[in-house]
Amino acid sequence: MLRIAIQTKGRLNEESMEMLNSIDINVENAKRKFLSKANNFPIEVLYLRDDDIPGVVANNTAQLGIVGLNEVEEKQADVEIVAKLGWGGCRISLAIPKDEEYTGVEYFNGKRIATSYPGILERFLDEKGVKANIEVITGSVEIAPAAGIADAIFDIVSSGGTLVTNGLKEVERVFESEAVLIANKNLSAEDKELLDEIMFRIESEKVSAKKKYLLMNVPAQNLDKALQILPSMRSPTVMPLADKEWYSLHSVVDAGELWNKVKQLKAIGAEGILVLSLDKIIL
Ligand code: PRT
Ligand code: ZN
């Protein structure tokens, strides 16, 4: 039985649950429970604060975890980063009061910087040869300069709205993050096999999200043109219709190409074009 640690509540909880759901692992989001078992896969979910997830995966209390890369980096956790999940994107940046003139990283020499990420900040400042005082605060870091607790902050930025609201400006983007799937480095053969199954499902899901299924009727005289427009996974499926002047064509196309393809197909007389979303693509 595998155990996966995810955030109990907060920004990553919902999408972590959705991700498990999307790969057909059914677990109820039991907010008041500490552990819940999936009813169709040998896995149980351990709900934790995100700060604790890298540590429990490193010490094998949980074999897998879903957490922000920023937390893994901050804790310098000895875990495997198995997959970047493509959501939960943010960066950790240095920000200063908006009216200050910024001269480069040396600006921070002798300054007090408030942060919840002292590890990442310290490594960055050391690398740049800057000597600053790091004030560790958890929560509401962005009010520290106005409250006189610090001269600058080092905090998570996503849209940048919080900085603007607090009269701050972003001056150094230090670390780019997104949600990642992490694993213990010494998984048993059995656990590794389950992880491979999970990865296979995640990949199928990722591929299907980027594709659309197209069905249409095409006039017989333009069938060749349609086939040129629609290179498919192998080749499009072509079916003759009762009316010999028409064919039915089925194909999978890149979602980003969809409207361009539809336009070209209409131009050669395709009719009754249906566009369907795909649940899974098994390559
Ligand atoms: O209770 P627990 O310890 O589990 O949660 P937490 O409060 O420590 O973390 P939480 O739920 O706020 O965030 C979890 C993870 O989501 C982070 O570690 C990041 O990897 C990721 N993430 C993505 C973010 C954001 N985007 C984000 N915008 N985490 C926090 N923010 C906050 C940020 O702290 C700041 O206050 O949003 C504000 C900035 O947002 P903008 O859009 O105004 O720039
Ligand atoms: Zn946290």
Residues 69 and 126 in one domain: no
Residues 31 and 98 in one domain: no
Residues 45 and 76 in one domain: yes
In this structure, the residue with its CA closest to atom 14 of ligand 1 is 11
CA angle 187, 19, 68 (to 5 degrees): 70
Tens digit of each residue's pLDDT (9 = 90 or more) over 206-221:
888 899 999 999 999 9
Residues 41 and 83 in one domain: yes
Residues 197 and 80 in one domain: yes
> Can you give the pLDDT at residue 33?
77
pLDDT at 231 over 90: no
Residues 191 and 216 in one domain: no
pTM of the predicted model as reported, rounded to 2 decimal places? 0.88
> Can you give the pLDDT at residue 31?
62
**CATH code for the domain of 139:** 3.40.190.10
Instruction: Give the pairing of strands 43-48 and 237-240.
Output: unpaired
Tens digit of each residue's pLDDT (9 = 90 or more) over 61-115:
999 999 999 999 999 999 999 999 999 999 999 999 999 999 999 999 999 999 9
Q: Which 3 state secondary structure label does DSSP give 9? A: coil
Residues 54 and 190 in one domain: yes
Percent of the chain's residues with pLDDT above 70: 98
Residues 222 and 145 in one domain: no
> Which range marks the domain in which residue 271 is found?
211-277
**Beta carbon of 43 within 6 Å of any ligand 1 atom:** no
> Can you give the pLDDT at residue 279?
87
Is 282 inside any structural domain? no
Q: Indicate the number of domains in the chain.
A: 3
- The ligand minimizing its distance to the Cα of 72 is 1
Q: With contact defined as beta carbons under 8 Å apart, do 14 and 20 qualify?
A: no
**CATH code for the domain of 241:** 3.30.70.120
Residues 268 and 160 in one domain: no
- Work out which ligand 1 atom sits closest to the CA atom of 140: 36
List the single range of 86-100, 183-197, 222-236 with lowest mean pLDDT. 222-236
Is 283 inside any structural domain? no
